[in-house]
Amino acid sequence: MNLDGARILVFGASGGLGGPIVEQLAQAGARLTISGRSLESAEHHTVNADLTLPDSARSVVAEAVEHHGGLDGIVIAAGVVAFGSVAEVDDDTVDELLLLNYLAPLRIMREALTTLDQGGFVLNISAVVADKPMPNMGAYSASKAAASALLKSVRTEARKSKIRIVDVRPPHTETGLATRPIAGQAPKLPQGLTPEAVASRIVAAITDDETDVGADQFS
């Protein structure tokens, strides 16, 4: 895909990875709508939203379409993390993990399949734990694995509408998310990749028309 002039909506644009993705898409010439809980931008069309609310995905997509006259792509960079054994993680934490890491992407893709122009894409950023779950990260790993499974299924469903579904599962990235868990405390983790490097690989996946980018495809 040629990003010059492409109309792209980025969810989670204020995050440690979403920010660099926005910067690199803009540098490539994309016309952006960015979404987060409390964003302000003089450069890009901004729609603030709380993805825990059922109608947020619909309203954000609708505003982006109205602003740009259509959409060519959606990037989902929103998500949360929690740590702790299964015995330690309570139901409220599991509910929030599933709501933001699985149900929110599902709602966004539901809107995308009826809204995006042919040849468009939806890219969801999962994590290496979708393939390689870690101890004391079971609930988080499961929420990311659920999203990854969802994308594989939707990829087949989207063929008729010629919309590309992209599942990206980067290795540990130094976004600062691990220091802001909704529950628990992060274990000692190896040095991760820089957000800028991961963002560059994600943008390359968009331009190269990829559909599946596992952790081993990052460097």
DSSP 8-state assignment for residue 99: I
Residue-level pLDDT at 42: 80
Count Cβ neighbours within 10 Å for each residue of 141-178 and write b for 16 or more, e otherwise: bbbbbbbbebbeebbeebeeeebbbbbbbbbbbbbebb
Q: Taking the domains of the chain in order of start, what are their residue ranges?
A: 7-217
Residue 215 has pLDDT above 80, yes or no: yes
Q: What is the mean pLDDT of the chain?
A: 96
Residue-level pLDDT at 206: 98
Task: Indicate the CATH number for domain 7-217.
Answer: 3.40.50.720
Residue-level pLDDT at 105: 98
Q: 170 and 218 in contact (C-beta within 8 Å)?
A: yes
Residue 39 has pLDDT above 90, yes or no: no
Which of the four pLDDT bands, split at 50, 70 and 90, describes residue 40? Answer: confident
- Per-residue model confidence as pLDDT tens digits over 147-167: 999 999 999 999 988 999 999
Q: 171 and 13 in contact (C-beta within 8 Å)?
A: no
- Per-residue model confidence as pLDDT tens digits over 81-136: 999 999 999 999 999 999 999 999 999 999 999 999 889 999 999 999 999 999 99
